[in-house]
Homo-oligomer: A and B are copies of this chain.
Amino acid sequence: MSENGFLEDAARAAHWIASYRENVHDLPVLPRVRPGDVAAGLPEEPPEKPEPLESVLADLDDVIVPGLTHWNHPGFFAYFCSSTTDAGVLAEFLAAELNQNAMLWRTSPAGTELEQRMVEWVRRFVGLPDAFDGLILDTASSSSFTALLAAREQAVPDVRQRGLAGRSDVGPCVLYISEEAHSSLDKSALAAGFGLDHVRHVPVDERLRMLPAALEEAISADRAAGLTPVMVCATIGTTSTTSVDPVREVSEICERTGVWLHVDAAYAGPAAALPEKRGEFEGWERADSIVLNPHKWMSTPIDCSVLLFRNDAAMRRPLSLTPEYLRSTEDGQNLMDIGLSLGRRFRALKLWFQFRMEGAEGMRARLRTHIALADQLAGWIEEDPRFEVAAPHPFSLVVFRAVPPGDADPDDWNQTLLEAVNRDGRVFLSHTTVDGRYAIRLAVGSARGTEQAVQEAWSLLTGEYDRMAAG
């Protein structure tokens, strides 16, 4: 279809990438466009005639790049980093060519079995027992939703056949998470038909960890009131502050009450590969299901979410359906049976390339570098009277706030400071609230990140502080 040959175009694309990498440091992490600016540069009608790649790459530079938020910029510290390495980028290139769809074993034996093996490698990497099987989905939202459906199937008799509505034998279905849990859990409960009224946001202690006693009380009260406790989700590494729920205690409550335990370790999960961090993961091996996203802290290109579980049959029950046109005779596992999406792209390839080209050793080293940089930043903050650390920092995120001079409102002051720092363009930080108070988040975790970028962020924060204080 192209006017050029494939190899020539592939070389053009590769050179474009190399040049982007060289120049990305000079681009503002957060682009300086307003809503509608990018769209204004794109015709309303699709073109009739084909054009060579060169024209498209020219417009990529002129129209798209000025509107990109540069997730692969070393100064990207917002949310959780999601960055990439050569291994992942090259694997995605090959995966697009191979265009596997591992819905049935038959439609991609290698896609199916590589996926299973990569899940096993991830499981071994983070030190979880053999009892866990798993598969790869797109995002933690999908993984947690898939776990929730399995939990619902276990808690609600015959839900697959009869559904939830119009039944007098089933009370409202309840999901238990901490006040600090990720919104994707609330969203899963919405999608599964639980309703927001039936998501219990269990209170947390001063370290932002779910209070087990409050959880147990909530489950008992709901059972007594005729409700149906379905799932508890404990988080190891919350999005707001990376707090860690007491998973062992939570798991004991789940065992006693017969409620499914899901663990959201979407961000922090890879850190279980470090013996010195294993303590944070105590008890997660007792979960019924665990989600861990390589596309966050393992620097795998988005999207790649690993869902681990103990009971394969329980995971297949909620959604498996095989119409005639998808029937096949081989007894290999059909991964389409778990999760909502029938089509399943070749996400395992990038994990394989990463493990091979980086080695488990290289992956652990990267995690340690990130943790050390976060600790270093936290140290600077602790020593500086202008700032304070706002929450524990067990992993690579530091949550902190400025202590404004005089009687300025701390929330407004921090928000203004954050906006000023982000406006500079060299870094991008995001925010949250801790105990209802505004706080700044700096998440180390980019594969392209550097010590220099963290220093730059700190010097921008302190510089802007002084400028504002001088006012």
Contacts and interface: CB of A to CB of B under 8 A. Distances in A.
Contact of A38 (B78, B114, B228, B240): B114
A92 B93 contact: yes
Interface string A293-322: 001000001110000000000000011011
Residue among A38, A168, A192 with max Cβ neighbours from chain B (10 Å): A38
A164 B164 CA distance: 6
14 contacts: A10-B93, A13-B94, A17-B94, A34-B330, A42-B113, A46-B124, A49-B359, A71-B101, A88-B96, A92-B92, A138-B341, A138-B345, A191-B319, A301-B345
Nearest to A361: B48
Interface string A58-102: 011001111111011000001100111111111011111111110
B140 A342 contact: yes
A332 interface: yes
A355 interface: yes
A379 interface: no
Nearest to A59: B356
Contacts of A131: none
A106 interface: yes
Contacts of A30: 106
Given A17-B97, A33-B109, A125-B46, A56 B195 contact: no
A69 B107 contact: yes
A55 interface: yes
Contact of A161 (B196, B323, B325): B196
A393 interface: no
A1 B121 CA distance: 19
A13 B173 CA distance: 50
Contact of A87 (B2, B196, B227, B359): B2
B324 A188 contact: no
B357 A2 contact: yes
A423 interface: no
A116 to B, nearest CB: 7
A248 B86 CA distance: 51
Interface stretch (A212-220, A369-377, A427-435, A459-467): A427-435
Nearest to A57: B94
Interface stretch (A179-187, A257-265, A282-290): A179-187
Interface string A102-115: 00011111111110
A6 to B, nearest CB: 5
A39 B231 CA distance: 33
A163 interface: yes
Interface residues of A, number: 169
A172 B327 CA distance: 30
Residue among A84, A173, A324, A432 with max Cβ neighbours from chain B (10 Å): A324
B35 A21 contact: no
Given A69-B106, A343-B302, A53 B124 contact: no
Contacts of A295: 343
Given A165-B156, A165-B164, A343-B139, A71 B98 contact: yes
B1 A357 contact: yes
Interface string A8-35: 0111011111101100000000110111
Contacts of A31: 109-110
Nearest to A362: B50
A173 B165 contact: yes
Contacts of A44: 117, 120, 124
A79 B107 contact: yes
B2 A10 contact: no
Contacts of A194: 163, 165
A44 to B, nearest CB: 7
A18 B194 CA distance: 50
B113 A36 contact: yes
A203 interface: no
Contact of A86 (B2, B18, B34, B170): B2
A116 B319 contact: no
